[in-house]
Amino acid sequence: MLDIPSSTPVGLSLAGPDKLVIQWSDGKRRVYDVNALRRSCPCATCNTQRVRAPAGEDPLGNLPAVTIEAMSPVGNYAYKIAFSDQHTTGIYPLELLRTLGNEESS
């Protein structure tokens, strides 16, 4: 059984080319650095690169700056994000999105 989060996004917007803003149903608002989102990609390819990297090395740390090309819901539990570096396989569960970014005061 899939665990549906108690708080869901009610608004998505870009604050310039490098910041994503998500307004959550519980009133919280989080701001995400787009490059940090790309480096946090949870897909199998990125996870394999992290596992195979030498200890203390971040294989995604030197990626070029990216923008979000598209973002679409996956059911009611995640978002698929397509980045300008042609990376399109990242599906970001809502639980993960709640841990990333910075909470913005209202």
Beta strands in 17-85 (DSSP E): 19-24, 29-33, 68-74, 78-83
Q: What is the mean pLDDT of residues 84-89?
A: 94
pTM for the model: 0.86
Distance separating alpha carbons of residues 76 and 2, to the nearest angstrom: 10
Q: What is the CATH number of domain 9-104?
A: 3.30.2020.30
Dihedrals phi, psi of 68, to nearest 5 degrees: -90, 120
3-state secondary structure of 35: helix
Tens of pLDDT, residue by residue over 36-84, are 999 999 999 999 988 888 887 776 777 789 999 999 999 999 999 999 9
Q: 106: pLDDT confidence band, cut at 50, 70 and 90?
A: low
* pLDDT reported for residue 1: 44
Six-digit token pair at 40? 């946090």
The domain spans of the chain are 9-104
3-state secondary structure of 60: coil
* pLDDT reported for residue 32: 98
Tens of pLDDT, residue by residue over 10-37, are 999 999 999 999 999 999 999 999 999 9
Judge contact between 37 and 91, C-beta under 8 A: no
Amino acid identity, residue 86? Answer: Q
